[in-house]
Structure 1
Amino acid sequence: MKKLSLITLIATILTLAGCVSSRKVNYLQDMKQNSQIELEHRFEAVIRPYDEITVQITSSDAELTRPFQWNLGTNASNISAPEYLVDVDGNIDLPVLGKLHVDGMTRLQLQDTLTAMLKQSNIISDPFVMVRFKSFKIFFLGATGGKAVTIPNERCTFLEALALAGDINVYTDRSKIAVMREVDGKITTRYLDPRSSTVFNDPYFMLRQNDFIITESRTLKTKRDEVTYWMGWMSSIVSIASLVTTILVYTTLKK
């Protein structure tokens, strides 16, 4: 009976150790099967100073749109959508139309504005305008190492950014992952915890272009120190298991 109790104790210790580790690293631990969460914060990217955007203007009359295109060579078909860098005041300078203030506009709002301007100025009667963000990047610093992640569209959530970055390692403190961004000329920071479903309704869950995600290590130990620590524990557990096995075998043979 005592031998069985000892084995049970060792198994319990191993199980508890695994549970503690899971609680530290598993995502969305309070999510249930088929659970639904109403999102309180919706986000659509807006154009800001220093953003790069492309503006494609087409029409049934290709000749009318020629001033708004970039010809990349002698081949007339080698045409690309022009790229514009938003200046510090939030403006872009368009051919024919001139300077336009775009700071704070969504890409759809800019599309509608340009369409209306082209029609009202009798420049193009049937314009089709397509605006895209060329540079939408999220930056990572801290325990995961420094990297810039390019977002394939203008919508990116906190969890999507972590996935695109290749996830964060087990040594990262998930209880306080900082999202840092510039708002009205000020740097603001919020801490998000992806282990809880409450992260979905954090106002910083929907990321903006040029946000920083900053991570910290769970302890002051280096990765090598922590590996050594857990290897020591595993060695001790194996030694105890070997000792118990030896005692059981010896007892059995003695009988």
Structure 2
Amino acid sequence: MILKKYYIYGALSLAVFSCAPRQEINYMKDIENIALDNSIKNSRSTLQPGDQLVIIVSAKDLDVVKPFNQNYSSTATVAQYSIPSGNAQFQPIPTSGPIYLVDTDGNIDFPQIGLVETKGENIETLKTKLAGLISTYVKSPVVDVKLINFKVSVLGEVAKPGTYVIPDGNTTLLQTLGLAGDLTAFGVRNNILIVRNVDGKFTQQRIDITSAQFINSPYYYLKQNDMIYVQPNTVREKSARVDPNTGLYISVASVIASIALGVLALTRN
């Protein structure tokens, strides 16, 4: 009976402790209690110097808008990439059209109009702004704007660290971590660092993805050139400080010790 009682206690203890680590790696455990009111506002990234934009103007009469599509070549394409599902590889999506570079002052040089300021604008507001400027010359113009060089970097304890190009510049922290193959078992999930550069000013934020509270953070939706760093846990840090050749050294020392003992035993005989 005593052994049976200890067996039951041991089984219960094992069940309790085996469940604990699983809770530490769950994401957004309280998501049902969190409102997403701010998510749409935070998803709209403002344009930054160095952004490359494909802008195409269309209307009922395409001949009328030709002056606004200068330098357009139907054979020129820009490689974008679709977000893969599962283990699928990135698939190129050809995007054609005239390319405009946002200069260091936050302007683009647009045909027939001249310099157009983009500072503080996002893709949607720039469409509206350009349509308003072009409507002086063209009735009911339609403007399509694509950001073709939006990229973020993921470093640290993820399966596939690297820099990722995101189509249309719309991605969340979780989606990007998914592109990087998710965190490894050694990644710290409640202290992920995001470094951001907006208009030349660097900011940083620590994010806890085990809580859904971060959905309302301005760092839930990523911005151009964001850098994500997943910190290793103490187990990984300790293992990194250990010389990888330690096992070899111990094996060699054991062999030398065995030989020395053998020689010593022979000399005594």
Question: What band does the TM-score fall into relative to the shorter chain?
Answer: 0.7 to 0.9
Deviation at 1:38, TM superposition (A): 4.3
TM-score, normalised via structure 2 length: 0.72
Q: What amino acid maps onto 1:85 in structure 2?
A: L
The 2-side partners of 1:172 and 1:28 are apart by 16
Contact 1:157 1:205 (C-alpha < 8 Å) held by counterparts? yes
Deviation at 1:63, TM superposition (A): 1.9
Deviation at 1:4, TM superposition (A): 1.5
1:49 aligns with 2:64: no
CA distance 1:73–1:54, change in 2 (3 Å): closer
Alpha-carbon displacement from aligned partner over 1:127-164 (angstroms, at most 9, x marks no partner): 21111211222211112253122333333222222223
The 2-side partners of 1:204 and 1:23 are apart by 23
Deviation at 1:190, TM superposition (A): 0.7
Contact 1:39 1:200 (C-alpha < 8 Å) held by counterparts? no
The 2-side partners of 1:81 and 1:133 are apart by 12
1:113 aligns with 2:115: no
Q: What amino acid maps onto 1:221 in structure 2?
A: K
Which residue in the other structure is 2:62 paired with?
A: 62
Work out which of the residue numbers 192, 211, 214 in structure 2 matches 1:177: 192
CA distance 1:4–1:222, change in 2 (3 Å): same
Greater CA drift, 124-133 or 167-176: 124-133
The 1-side partners of 2:31 and 2:122 are apart by 33
Which residue in the other structure is 1:158 paired with?
A: 173
Alpha-carbon displacement from aligned partner over 1:169-198 (angstroms, at most 9, x marks no partner): 111011200111013422111101111122
Greater CA drift, 190-199 or 96-105: 96-105
CA distance 1:156–1:73, change in 2 (3 Å): closer
Work out which of the residue numbers 10, 13, 37 in structure 2 matches 1:39: 37
Contact 1:55 1:82 (C-alpha < 8 Å) held by counterparts? yes
Deviation at 1:20, TM superposition (A): 2.2
Deviation at 1:36, TM superposition (A): 5.2
What is the DSSP-based 3-state SS (H/G/I as helix, E as strand, rest coil) of the residue aligned with 1:180?
strand
1:93 aligns with 2:95: no
CA distance 1:91–1:170, change in 2 (3 Å): same
Deviation at 1:12, TM superposition (A): 2.6
Number of residue pairs aligned between Structure 1 and Structure 2: 216
The 2-side partners of 1:209 and 1:180 are apart by 11
CA distance 1:196–1:80, change in 2 (3 Å): closer
Contact 1:176 1:191 (C-alpha < 8 Å) held by counterparts? yes
In structure 2, stretches of 5+ residues that fail to align are: 77-94, 243-269
In structure 1, stretches of 5+ residues that fail to align are: 226-255
Deviation at 1:89, TM superposition (A): 1.2
Pairing of 1:93-242 with structure 2 (within 5 A): 93-120=109-136, 122=137, 124-144=138-158, 146-219=161-234, 220-222=237-239
What RMSD in Å do the two structures reach over aligned CA positions?
A: 2.5
Contact 1:46 1:106 (C-alpha < 8 Å) held by counterparts? yes
Deviation at 1:49, TM superposition (A): 0.6
CA distance 1:196–1:92, change in 2 (3 Å): same
What is the DSSP-based 3-state SS (H/G/I as helix, E as strand, rest coil) of the residue aligned with 2:9?
helix
Q: What amino acid maps onto 1:128 in structure 2?
A: V
Contact 2:54 2:96 (C-alpha < 8 Å) held by counterparts? no
The 1-side partners of 2:52 and 2:64 are apart by 25
Alpha-carbon displacement from aligned partner over 1:34-64 (angstroms, at most 9, x marks no partner): x552434522121111111110111222222
The 1-side partners of 2:14 and 2:21 are apart by 11
TM-score, normalised via structure 1 length: 0.75
What is the DSSP-based 3-state SS (H/G/I as helix, E as strand, rest coil) of the residue aligned with 1:169?
coil
Greater CA drift, 211-220 or 40-49: 40-49
The 2-side partners of 1:118 and 1:31 are apart by 44
